[in-house]
Amino acid sequence: MTKILFLRAVNLGRANKVPMKLLVQAMDAAGFGRSGFLLQSGNVVVAEPTLPDEELERATERLILDEFGVTTVVIGRTPRQLAGTLERNPYTAPEGGSVHVAFLAGVPDADLRSGLQRESFGDAQLTLADSEVFIRYESSTHTSKLSNALLERRLKVDSTSRNVRTLERLLALREVAQAL
């Protein structure tokens, strides 16, 4: 079964540099399964992983720390899970804006979810699902108060966000599409 790994906050400007080509080479050498990547923003596809889901995520985190000196969180989804996420997306991107999905490392407490749902962010709307948050930005994500860091503070779980266009490109990769 193919696994898609999302690395949190890597290759953002000059911080947390993880050369994706070197990462997949290190993952292959470590025997994690046949690996590839999409973009430099921390999207890894592992075909036929040799480790169970959570073990693969933790082992990848350790490998990134050992090889590149970067501490990150890795959140995994199967191609079917990712396809289901995109099917549940309630938003379309507005002119000049975008839609993102924040993948959560766990299911947040119901009270924390309710509290976040009641907040207003002006330029952004959100919809919470069990292990993801759908976000519609009216304009730039960089100027919005609704950030990944805010989600982590409010929900008390690790998360990493991706633009829906990137997720659609991931699903179109041959290795991912064949696993659907």
CA 128 – CA 109 distance, rounded (Å): 12
Do residues 137 and 87 share a domain? yes
Boundaries of domain holding 70: 3-77
The burial of 62, by beta-carbon neighbours within 10 Å (0-12 exposed, 13-18 middle, 19 or more buried), is given as exposed
Do residues 7 and 63 share a domain? yes
Total domains present in the chain: 2
CA 180 – CA 177 distance, rounded (Å): 5
Q: What is the pLDDT of residues 12-68, one digit of tens each?
A: 777 788 888 999 999 999 999 888 887 777 889 999 889 998 999 999 999 999 999
pTM of the model: 0.92
Do residues 23 and 64 share a domain? yes
Do residues 92 and 144 share a domain? yes
Q: Does residue 115 belong to any structural domain of this protein?
A: yes
Q: What is the pLDDT of residues 20-32, one digit of tens each?
A: 899 999 999 999 9
Assign residue 67 the CATH number of its domain. Answer: 3.30.70.1280
